[in-house]
Chain A
Amino acid sequence: MSSEQKLLHISTSPHTKYQETVPSIMLSVCLALIPAFAASIYFFGLRALVLTVVCVVTCLATEWVIVRVLLKRPSTLGDFSALVTAMLLAFNLPPDLPPWMAVIGSIFAIGVVKWAFGGLGHNFINPALAGRAFLMASYAAPMTIFGPPRTGTMSGLSESTLASLTNKVDGISGATPLPAFNKIMELLRNESTQASELQFHIIDFQETISHLFFGNVGGCIGETSAAALILGAIFLWYKHIIGLRVPVLFIGTVFLLSWIFNGTGSFFTSEALLIPVYQIFAGGLMLGALYMATDMVTSPITPMGKAIFGIGCGLLAFTIRKFGGYPEGVSYSILLMNLAVPMLDRYNRPKIYGKVHTNA
């Protein structure tokens, strides 16, 4: 073939690109969620599997109907973002939720939160969390009733701790870690006179924390095993998909505040140090900080913005946990901070090379 006749492709530089693509990133997130998924099936059995499958099917179907039928655009299922939303939504549901509620939550997450604003990249709050918040508002009772894990206790407290507490605190045997903890704290405050007898060492912290860490506690599907969540997050960090800034500052802030306001009146007793450890492994903090506060679309893009976002999430989560009506504040803290993202980016532009910082 003569060279002159050959049509060459012309395009602007660069002529080479990084191999990572949107689908590959989303797929990696799904992969990272698999250990936690496996743990949830192990601890909660088939119900976790069923709920997750229901969410996945509904989310993908909703996405497909909106894109293909309503918008008549090429399918977007291949970017796997709907799959990520589905898994995260399922992870935020109690294992005993009736599956039809999961269907509603999924439709809301994809149909309203994601597509009403233009699909991937345009939603301003995390669809999975918004789906959870929607269900919380609509079906508060089933959303807050948790069944125990197949082995072990709801709260992760050891049998002996529970036995010594049940006659003193109502309903502690059926509570998930955070409410159980709050009840114990309340008890301690009320019985201040007997505080010397009822000290923290009645709680077998080591065992409890190991349960929280490995997952033998009640709670939402994906919350159960901190270890599995951390494993997946290390994978994402290694692949440069999540940064450390947001999760570390988020968890760090909760840790620090829980330590300062630990309620024991001292700072360096083993209880005072174990309480914040308990706080960071209990509830949805790991799931939220590692997978939902790091959602690219709904977190700031600038380094400084990310830092403030992480700290803000931590502050709000701690405040809600400590003073709010809900035992768990992680999802609301992230949703609230999502709303602040455009502002955080706008006022935290990086200092450019060769110029003093201005926000003109």
Chain B
Amino acid sequence: MFGKFSFKGGVHPSHCKDQTASLNIETLPAPEKVIIPLSQHIGAPAKIAVKRDDMVKIGQVLGEAGGFVSAPVHASVSGKVVSVGPFAHPLGKQVTAVEIENDGNDDTVEFTPLPTPWREAAPQEIVQKISAAGIVGMGGASFPTHVKLSPPSNKPIDTVIINGAECEPYLTADHRLMLEKTEEMLCGAMIIKKILGASKIWIGIEENKPDAIAVISEKIAQDKFKEISLAKLKAKYPQGGEKQLINAVTKRQVPSGGLPMDCGCVVQNIGTAYTIWDAVCNGKPLYQRVVTVTGSTIRKPANLLVRIGTPIKTLLEHCDIDYDSTQKVIMGGPMMGLAQSDFTAPVIKSTSGILGYKTLTTGVREYDCISCGNCVKACPIHLVPSYLAKYVQKGLYEDAMTWNILDCMECGSCAYACPSKINLVHYMKVGKFHAMGIKKEKEKK
């Protein structure tokens, strides 16, 4: 009944989702201590609002937004602030964080939902609520959501796309939310549409989640969700990339260097839609999220509802990790996730999964490029990664720029597909770093 939506390029890594796709979301008991970084989003870090020895409650603001493109952070347990200082951050640097000792009481601040029902409220008022709840993109990019929901008036938005592709292997957090919190998530989508004054809502789901597709098609047949349409997407990585999703669903393309709003679209992830509902209708800030814990060295995989700030060690041990065979721990999915070096690093707002891995991609013999063209076929932006890598190797960043290296989204498809096992993404990252420098230099002149 639905055509299949897709984009050009991409790769087909094995889904590896069977272990957790059918497991209900389980609540992970709050840990004894949480570490809540002040920077969990793109933009300015939050400004600290508590000090050592303060007593805090769940939902209390620990850091105020440090600007428009920023988001506040909230306490996820009640108890005493034992320290404020630099802690390991999952993105690999040390970042100021608030350490709270859990008193086990789970006292909460008073959650105040929007005073008027959201259908009648002014968009500005709802955005205010979302912004105060510290909501950021929960699919990985962690861009503050209120910014996406406040497009300038010269950029009208007609289409809202809810991203249920979850194209990264292993991850099933969004999948479970779609099944278990269907109505809430759909409500969140309607709230987004109302704020933006859009005319259309799409939910994009990869065809490898037939149960989610069935549940949602049933719901959207109801009158109250009739404005929502379902787009059945081909299961292919990176189907859930914003640009690919927009292209698959609307056939539009985000202009190079631009944002989705430049082609009239706003994309929000399933988790974000759910959290928006929670903030607007229950007044709850973002202090917990669903995380999939799985991988070849995890003996009891699970989808866990986790307090933000829980050290990943707690999750791994809850899921019975086999430490001896674990070679790598990844936060996020295997295609774009970050390898972790420190088990005390906490779950943050954008953590969709924690994977324990036995096999390595390092130490594999690398060959010279044989021009097989796999990377060209795989690149969803239609770049020529092999040439870009060669330019970067030689330090020819300007050439790499004329071959559009700055459009690379670091999705990893090229490196996945390369039979020579060249770590193309690494070259892209290095090249983009230098290219950004050159670009800024030029703009100054």
Contact = CB atoms under 8 A, between A and B. Distances in A.
Q: Do A and B come from one complex?
A: yes
B339 A10 contact: yes
Contacts of B327: 8-9
Interface residues of A, number: 46
A14 interface: yes
B337 A15 contact: yes
B250 interface: no
A360 B402 contact: yes
B105 interface: no
B407 interface: yes
B339 A18 contact: no
Interface stretch (A116-124, A204-212, A313-321): A116-124
Interface in A1-48: 1, 3-4, 6, 8-18, 20-22, 24-25
A9 B371 contact: no
- Chain A CB within 10 A, most for which of B341, B372, B376: B372
Contacts of B367: 21-22, 79, 120-121
Nearest to A6: B323
Contacts of A298: 371
A301 B361 contact: no
B336 A13 contact: yes
Given A15-B330, A349-B384, A22 B370 contact: yes
Interface of A: 1, 3-4, 6, 8-18, 20-22, 24-25, 79, 118-122, 240-241, 243, 296-299, 301-303, 306, 345, 349-355, 360
A46 to B, nearest CB: 34
Interface string B335-373: 111111101100000000001010011101001111111
Given A8-B326, A11-B361, A353-B382, 4 more contacts: A8-B328, A17-B415, A79-B367, A120-B368
Contacts of B415: 13-14, 17
Interface string B305-347: 0000000010010000001101111101011111111011000
A227 B403 CA distance: 42
A25 B367 CA distance: 12
A272 to B, nearest CB: 37
Secondary structure at the A interface, as helix, strand, loop or mixed, is loop
A25 B372 contact: yes
Nearest to A79: B367
A21 B362 CA distance: 14
A11 B426 CA distance: 9
Nearest to B338: A13
Contacts of B412: 13-14
A354 B243 contact: yes
Interface string B394-423: 000000001110010010100111111101
A14 B376 contact: no
A13 B254 contact: no
For A3, A16, A241, A297, the residue with the greatest tally of chain B CB atoms inside 10 Å of its CB is A16
Interface string B376-393: 100011111011000000
Contact of A11 (B254, B339, B380): B339
Nearest to B409: A353
A79 B368 CA distance: 11
Contacts of B189: none
Interface string B25-38: 00000000000000
Contact of B335 (A16, A119, A302): A16
B208 interface: no
10 closest A-B pairs by CB: A14-B412, A121-B368, A355-B256, A16-B334, A354-B256, A350-B382, A15-B334, A22-B367, A296-B372, A354-B253
22 contacts: A3-B316, A4-B343, A11-B360, A11-B361, A12-B425, A13-B410, A13-B412, A13-B415, A14-B334, A17-B418, A18-B11, A18-B417, A120-B370, A121-B370, A296-B371, A301-B373, A301-B384, A350-B382, A350-B383, A354-B254, A354-B381, A360-B402
Contact of A20 (B256, B334, B336, B419): B419
B369 to A, nearest CB: 5
Q: Is the interface of B mostly helix, strand, loop or mixed?
A: loop
A17 B416 contact: yes
Nearest to A118: B368
Contact of A14 (B336, B360, B402, B429): B336
A16 B13 contact: yes
Contacts of B402: 360
B398 to A, nearest CB: 12
B3 interface: no
B258 interface: yes
Given A16-B361, A360-B402, A353 B253 contact: yes
B373 A8 contact: no
A352 B420 CA distance: 24
B160 to A, nearest CB: 20
A297 B370 CA distance: 5
Given A4-B343, A22-B420, A299 B371 contact: yes
Contacts of B336: 13-14
Interface in B159-190: 169
A9 B327 CA distance: 6
A119 B419 CA distance: 17
A341 to B, nearest CB: 8
Contact of A15 (B257, B328, B418, B420): B328
B381 A9 contact: no
Contact of B381 (A118, A121, A299, A352): A352
Contact of A121 (B255, B332, B369): B369
